[in-house]
Each structure stands twice: as structure tokens, then as C-alpha cells.
Amino acid sequence: MELGRIGVWKRRREGDGTVAEIEALGFGTFWIGRSPSLAEAREYLEATSTMTIATGVLNVWRHTPEEVAAQHAELRRDFGERWLLGIGIGHPEATSEYRKPLTVMREYLDALDAADRPVPPGERVVAALGPKMLELSAERSLGAHPYFTPVEHTRVARERVGPDKLVAPEVTVVVDPDPDSARAKAREFAASYLRLTNYASNLLRLGFSEADVADGGSDRLIDAVVPHGSAEQVAEAVHAHLEAGADHVCLQPVGHGDDPLDDYRTLARALL
């Protein structure tokens, strides 16, 4: 499966017409965010011809494994290796049914394996932050797709999954050469994630303090998790993830609206 070194992570939005231009810029993979269904993923596959399309990620609480396996088989039949299934457990604040995440993910993977048309491990990737979920992603899928993580987590992920499994972190960035303006946009984006248990706990495991996580995030934390600055400075941060062990980095530029085409163009010139 060809993901390329650099991709784009973008929140699913009805009527989104940017995917074709993102493909034309040369990005290797388009990750559909905001818990897309496989029916919604089909629209992105139909709008492109060469780029890999992945869910980033399908929420396991919202779709049965039997339904997902059947639709996955149809997408693989119609689009071949351009389609990658990304699945994730979400966070406890998102569903009242939330229970032991590792157990639920293992059961979901078991059900994908047991479906009438199984989803092979090499055709799926798991959203993973903590050490046990990272290990499960290596055991039962192509590898790990972390979200909202600094370079240090990429290093940890590589150690946990081993040398031969995929590490494909999402990296949110702000392309803005003004340091104060850029950090303010980064902090605005980060605020909601720092209130979620799984993301905050992950950052604490990596050595950030409670004070770093509180009140919208310290400058140290914001600078580590949401790289910002000129396109060249952002490119340096992306290369740091690659040097730390990432096979693929998918970029989510924020701060310039829902369709930051100028950001995609600028990042393509700096990185592709």
C-alpha cells in the first residue's frame, strides 16, 4: 500500500471539493477525519484517481464490525489498494457506552477477522496512543495512526510497534510566520483536546506536567504538539517526526478556515 511520506488529514465535511486539488498537489494519502462512515469514504475515492484514501478514523462505537467488513470488501473490490481502513476507540467523553478500550478494540478486530468477508490485518490501521494500544496495533493491523502527539510520542510509537510496522501520526500545524499569532491559533485548536482524558493522559505519560496541560496548554506543550511558523519551520518539525521513526506524516493545517488551500499549496512546496 502506497501512503507516501506526506499526506493530509482533514475533517469530513459534506460537499468538500478540495480532495482533488490536494491530490493534484502530490500528497500521498488523504485521511478523512471526524469519524467518517465507509459510504462517505467512497465519495472521496470516487473524486480521486491515484491518492490513497483512509479513514482517520472510523469510530468503533458507531459502526458494527460486520457492516464495516462488508463495505470494506466492496471498497477494496472497486478501488484496490487506494483504500485503507483506519479504526479507533474514540474517547470516554464521546459515548456513554465507553468501557475498557483495549478490550473493545481487540473484540472489534476479532469480529473483523470473523466476518463473512474478513478485513485482513494489512488492510487496516489502528488509532493508538498508549503503550498497550500501540502494541495491539502492531499485532493486529498494519500499524498505528496516532493523533495530537509530539515528536517524542512518534519515537515511543516506533519503539513499541517495532521496525516493520507502520507509524503514521497526524500532525496539526499552523502556517503563520508571526509567532504570537501562530501560537494563538495553535492554542485555540488544542484547547478542546486538552480537555479530553485520553489526549491529556498521553501527554502526561510523555513528561508534560499537569500545569502544562491546564489552562489551554503551556507554550512548551503547544509548541511541541502543534508546530507553527513559516512553511519551512513547519517542514523542519515534520522531518523531526520522520527522523523519530514515522513512515508517513499526515498534516492538518489549521487557523485559516475549513479549506486552507493556500496552506496545502505552501506545504506542498516545502515538503513534496
pLDDT in tens, 255-267: 999 999 999 999 9
Distances (CA, A) of 236 to 12, 136, 192, 257: 27, 30, 26, 23
Q: Which H or E run contains 86?
A: strand 83-88
| Mean pLDDT estimate for the chain | 96
State how beta strands 6-11 and 249-253 pair. Answer: parallel
Domain 6-168+245-271 is of which CATH architecture?
Answer: Alpha-Beta Barrel (3.20)
| Structure-model confidence comparison of residues 147 and 91, the more confident one | 147
**What's the pLDDT band for 234 if we cut at 50, 70, 90?**
very high
**Stretch 187-198: mean pLDDT:** 96
pLDDT in tens, 32-41: 999 999 999 9
Residue 52: what pLDDT?
Answer: 98
C-beta of residue 106 within 8 angstroms of C-beta of residue 136: yes
Distances (CA, A) of 151 to 15, 25, 62, 76, 154: 33, 25, 30, 33, 5
Q: Which residue has the cell 489552562?
A: 215
Q: What residue segments make up the domains of the chain, in order of their start?
A: 6-168+245-271
| Rounded-to-integer distance, Cα 259 and Cα 262, Å | 9
C-beta of residue 32 within 8 angstroms of C-beta of residue 54: yes
Point out which residues pair with 253 in neighbouring strands. 173
**Stretch 141-158: mean pLDDT:** 98
Residue 90 has pLDDT above 90, yes or no: no
Here the cell at position 264 is 496545502
Identify the CA nearest to 48 among candidates 73, 28, 76, 68: 28
Lowest mean pLDDT among 86-100, 232-246, 253-267: 86-100
Q: How many CB atoms lie within 10 A of CB 26?
A: 14
| Rounded-to-integer distance, Cα 219 and Cα 187, Å | 9
**Stretch 114-132: mean pLDDT:** 98
Here the cell at position 151 is 515528536
Identify the CA nearest to 224 among candidates 211, 207, 249: 207
Burial class (CB in 10 A: 0-12, 13-18, 19+), 97: exposed
Residue 60 has pLDDT above 60, yes or no: yes
**What's the pLDDT band for 215 if we cut at 50, 70, 90?**
very high
Identify the CA nearest to 252 among candidates 7, 52, 46, 9: 9
What are the residue ranges of helices labelled H in 195-230?
197-205, 210-213, 219-225
